Chain A
Amino acid sequence: DSGVTQTPKHLITATGQRVTLRCSPRSGDLSVYWYQQSLDQGLQFLIQYYNGEERAKGNILERFSAQQFPDLHSELNLSSLELGDSALYFCASSVGQGANEQYFGPGTRLTVT
Chain B
Amino acid sequence: EDQVTQSPEALRLQEGESSSLNCSYTVSGLRGLFWYRQDPGKGPEFLFTLYSAGEEKEKERLKATLTKKESFLHITAPKPEDSATYLCAVSSDKYIFGTGTRLKVLA
Binding site for B on A (CB under 8 A): 2, 4, 33, 35, 41-43, 45, 48, 56, 58, 88, 90, 92, 98-107, 109
Contacts and interface: CB of A to CB of B under 8 A. Distances in A.
25 contacts: A2-B45, A35-B97, A41-B99, A42-B98, A42-B99, A43-B87, A45-B94, A45-B96, A88-B41, A92-B44, A98-B31, A98-B32, A98-B93, A99-B91, A100-B32, A100-B49, A101-B49, A102-B34, A102-B46, A102-B95, A104-B43, A105-B43, A106-B42, A106-B43, A107-B43
B100 interface: yes
Contacts of A101: 34, 46, 49
Contacts of A35: 97
B99 to A, nearest CB: 4
Interface of B: 31-32, 34, 36, 41-46, 49, 51, 87, 89, 91, 93-100
